[in-house]
Chain A
Amino acid sequence: MRMYVELLISYILYWGALTALAIFLLLKRRRVKS
C-alpha cells in the first residue's frame, strides 16, 4: 500500500512541479506587464 502512495507522490511531484513553474512564470509575466 505504501508503495502505491509513493507512486502517487511521484506523479503529483512531477506534474505539480511543472504546473507550479508555469504558474510562477505566468504571475511574473503579469507583474512585468503591469
Chain B
Amino acid sequence: MKLWKVFGVATLPLCLVSMYLSLSSPPPIEAGIASPDVYRVLYVHVPPAWISYLSMGVALVSSIIYLARRTVKADIIALSSMRIGLPLSWVTIVTGSLWANIAWGEYWSWDPRETTTLVLALAFIGYFIIRWSIPELNRRRRVSAMYVIASFITVPLSYYSAILWRTLHPIVITHTGIALAHHTVLILIINIITALLIFLTLLSLSYDVELAGGR
C-alpha cells in the first residue's frame, strides 16, 4: 500500500474530529468579547501558518541535499513541499486578515507580522515562477534549490517579527508558557496534528506523482 494512502486513511477521521471540535467547543476567548465565537478562526489560522513554515523547512533540507548530492528525489521532495506551502501561506494571509478585522478593526495594517508573512507567501510564488521559467531540467533543479536556501530567511523573519518589532499580533508562545485557555490549546494541538498528517499525505502523494512523471 502506498504511503500516502496510509496517511490519508489515518487523516480523514481526524479531519472530521478537528472540524467538529473547532466549531463545537467553548469559544477560545470568553471574557470581555462581544462575539467570542468568531475567534474560532484561530483553528484555521495557526495550523496553515505552521505548516507553511514546515514546508519551507522541508524544502530547505531537501534543497541542501540536492545541491550536495544531486539526488533527484531530494528535488522532488522540495517541489512537493513547496507545492503544499504555497496555498497554505496564502490561506494564512487571508484568514489572518479576516481575524485582524475582527480583533483590530482593520483587514490589513502593514503590521510587521502581516508584512513578513506576505513576503513568505510571495517567496512561495517566486519558487514556481523560477521553476516554470527555466526549461533545462538540471539547471531548473539547481537554481530552484538555491532559491529555496536563499528564501528560507522569510520563515524566521515571519516567526520572530512579532517578537523583534512592535506589533499588534499577539505573542501566544512565550518562555513562561502559552497564553491560551487549556481547552483551546488542546484543540489547537489536535488541529496542528491533523494539518501535519495532511501535509505528510499530500507530500507523499505529490512525491509519487512527480516520481512517476519523471520530473
Could you tell me which A residues sit within 8 Å of B by CB distance? 3-4, 6-7, 9-11, 13-15, 17-18, 20-22, 25-26, 28-29, 32-33
Count, A-B residue pairs, CB within 8 A: 72
B111 at the interface (CB under 8 A from A): no
Interface residues of B, dominant DSSP: helix
Interface residues of A, dominant DSSP: helix
Could you tell me which B residues sit within 8 Å of A by CB distance? 15, 19, 22-23, 35, 37-38, 40-41, 44-45, 47-48, 83-84, 87-88, 90-91, 94-95, 98-99, 101-102, 198, 201-202, 205-206, 208-209, 212-213
Select which of A10, A15, A17 is within 8 A of B41 by beta carbon: A10
Tell me which of A14, A17, A26 has the highest count of chain B C-beta atoms within 10 A of its own C-beta.
A14
Select which of B22, B94, B212 is within 8 A of A13 by beta carbon: B94
CA distance A17 to B92 in the complex (A): 11
